[in-house]
Structure 1
Amino acid sequence: METETLAMAQEIDFSFLALFMRATFTVKIVMIMLIIASFWSWSIIIQKHILFRKARALAGQFDRAFWSGEPLDTLYEQVGPTPDGAAERVFVAGMTEWRRSHRDDGGMIPGAQSRIDRSMDVAISKEAEDLNQGLTFLATVGSTAPFIGLFGTVWGIKNAFEEIALQQSTNLAVVAPGIAEALIATGLGLLAAIPAVIFYNKLTTDSELILGSYESFADEFATILSRQLDS
């Protein structure tokens, strides 16, 4: 009897596709949701990696140009109205307000320093939105995917016990397929959640470092303009 049960169990297809096809409608929906969430998470991760690397490269390139000793007005003209990088956009925001604050007689409109600071702060806020876009989804997947997978497992095990009751048998050939189908949901939940959590933490740290460099540049640039205002 035991030999026959083992032989029957060996004939069962335990491939992922076979387990998916045998699963109930609810468990299939759970699996599809987790697979989509996983692919979406990886697309965000790859996109952010490319975006952050480009942002760091452009920031380094502009930083070298800014501290090369070239006059700010000349650099402003070179950057033009359509700056490439975020650091350039922060610089253009400050320089644009700096030029607008000059009166026709060459004097400065009162409150120029605060307006320049606000202009650069707004530019940094816009860059923060672009850098952090999509990270909320990673956090959501990382926190909810294991529970969604667990729900699929609980539902699958419930159906497995129902099958045991209908078959009135607890042999391996009856129990194994249902349990395997149920556990696949938990596995997919972990497969989606673990990379999402890891890269959410990494990308959040990278974003904060990049934004910190923009804020440091804005502070240094504001100091330079403040000295010119005082003089």
Structure 2
Amino acid sequence: MSPIELQAVAMAGAVAPAHELSILGLFLAADWIVKIVMLALVGASVWCWAIIFDKAVKLRRMKAAATEFEEQFWSGGSLDQLYDEVAANPGDPLSATFAAGMREWRHAAERGLLTTGAMRANLAQRIERVMSVTIGREMAGAERYMTVLASVGSTAPFIGLFGTVWGIMNAFTSIAAQQNTSLAVVAPGIAEALFATALGLVAAIPAVIAYNKFSTDLGRFADRLDSFTTEFSAILQRHLEERG
């Protein structure tokens, strides 16, 4: 075999096979620490997407149910009848807040606590506190797993960067061991390292966008609950004044 042919064979052996530069090939060829980083980022991304879809569906249903309840509330019908319909199973935070306030109102009426001005004043404050506690509990349930989105969005790029640093360190170690600085030797290790960074961004970007979107929507819904509480308290206060 001629020297030219020998050089060609050597160069072919130094070039990594094409399949090793695929996504699966990069994962299989990576160091075990980089593999753990990649698996953790993929798992975090899947978890975030599950939360995103679940949260989007629940928020849409929650807004639709609240709108339907508000239409019933402002239709001019009996509040006692509306309470009987929703008290057993409130379908959204708005109806749950209304049920909590009406439950306290009925309890006070049954015990005869609406007879004096002092009792009526205490009742109004107690109803507001009960509704505020209900709002806090309902919003805590609606905000569940939001910290996961925030945590993944803030930490995933750094976890991917750790995998990148580790992979590049291994690439330079391979260069020193083989005493070969050709691109064919360096490229696979660097590609594995950069793949970890890409996975970190894939996990972080949707998590950050979803967190900001859901935080805004939940904040607006909380303001909606506060407005309803103020209006409902005013209605109950007017009923108390009429009794006086």
Question: Which category describes the TM-score, using the shorter chain as reference length?
Answer: over 0.9
Given that residues 79 and 88 in structure 1 are in contact (C-alpha distance below 8 angstroms), is that contact kept between their aligned partners in structure 2? yes
Where structure 2 has 5 or more consecutive residues not aligned to the other structure, the ranges are: 1-6
Structure 1 residue 144 corresponds to structure 2 residue 150:
no
Indicate whether 1:27 and 2:34 are aligned: yes
Task: From the superposition, tell whether residues 61 and 17 of structure 1 become closer, same or farther in structure 2 (CA, over 3 Å).
Answer: same
* Alpha-carbon distance in 2 for matches of 1:228, 1:46: 43
Q: Which residue of 1 aligns with 2:221?
A: 210
Correspondence for 2:238: 227
Of 163, 166, 170 in structure 1, the residue corresponding to residue 177 of structure 2 is: 166
Alignment of 1:107 with 2:118, yes or no, is: no
1:5 and 1:171 in contact (8 A); partners too:
no
Decide which moves more: 11-20 or 148-157: 11-20
- TM-superposed CA distance for 1:2, in Å, is 8.4
Decide whether the 8 Å contact of 2:44 with 2:203 is kept in 1. yes
Alignment pair present for 1:197 and 2:208: yes
Three-state SS of the structure 2 residue aligned to 1:91 is: helix
State the match for 1:44 in structure 2. Answer: 51
Q: TM (normalized to structure 2)?
A: 0.90
RMSD between superposed Cα atoms in Å: 1.8
Query: What corresponds to 1:94 in structure 2?
Result: 101
- 3-state secondary structure, aligned to 1:154: helix
> What 5-or-longer segments of structure 1 have no aligned partner?
none
TM-score normalised according to structure 1 size: 0.95
Which one has the largest radius of gyration?
2
1:9 partner amino acid = V
Q: Determine the structure 1 residue equivalent to 2:65.
A: 58
| CA spacing shift, 1:106–1:30, aligned 2, 3 Å | closer
Report what 2:78 is aligned to: 71
1:171-203 deviations in Å (ceiling 9; x for gaps): 122111101011100000000011111110001
Residues 105, 210 of structure 1: CA spacing in aligned structure 2 closer, same or farther, 3 A cutoff?
Answer: closer
Instruction: Report the equivalent of 2:164.
Output: 153
Structure 1 consecutive aligned stretches of length 4 or more whose deviation exceeds 6 Å: none
Q: Percent identity?
A: 48
CA distance in 2: counterparts of 1:183 and 1:126, whole angstroms: 43
Which residue identity lines up with residue 175 of structure 1 in the other structure? V
Count of residues paired in the alignment: 231
Q: Is the 8 A contact 1:6 1:173 kept in 2?
A: no
Q: For 2:23 and 2:202, how far apart are their aligned partners in 1?
A: 14
The C-alpha deviation readout for 1:64-89, integer Å capped at 9, x for no partner, is: 00000001111111223222221111
For 2:155 and 2:84, locate their aligned partners in 1 and report how far apart those are by CA, in whole Å: 49
Kindly tell me: are residues 149 and 113 of structure 1, through their superposed partners in 2, closer, same or farther at Cα, counting changes over 3 Å?
same
Partner letter of residue 238 of structure 2? R
Contact 1:159 1:178 in 2 (8 A): yes
SS at match of 1:101: helix
- Cα deviation code 1:30-56 (max 9, x no counterpart): 001100000000011000000100000
